[in-house]
Amino acid sequence: DRAAAILKELADMGISVAVDDFGTGYSNLSYLIDFSFGKLKIDRSFVSRIDTDSSSGAVVSTIVGLSRALGVSIIAEGVETEDQATLLRAAGCEVVQGYLFGRPAPLAVMAGEGQVIEDSRRVANLH
CATH number belonging to domain 2-125:
3.20.20.450
- 81-86-91-95 Cα dihedral, nearest 10 degrees: 70
What b/e sequence results for 115-125 when a residue is b if at least 16 CB atoms lie within 10 Å of its CB, and e otherwise? eeeebebbbbe
Asked if the model's pLDDT at residue 114 lies above 60, the reply is: no
- Give residue limits of the domains in the chain: 2-125
Q: Give the burial class of 78: count Cβ atoms within 10 A of its Cβ; 0-12 exposed, 13-18 middle, 19 or more buried.
A: buried
- Interval 63-100: pLDDT, tens: 999 999 989 899 999 999 999 999 999 999 989 999 99
More confident residue, 18 or 79: 79
Asked if the model's pLDDT at residue 27 lies above 70, the reply is: no
Indicate which residues carry an active-site annotation: 77
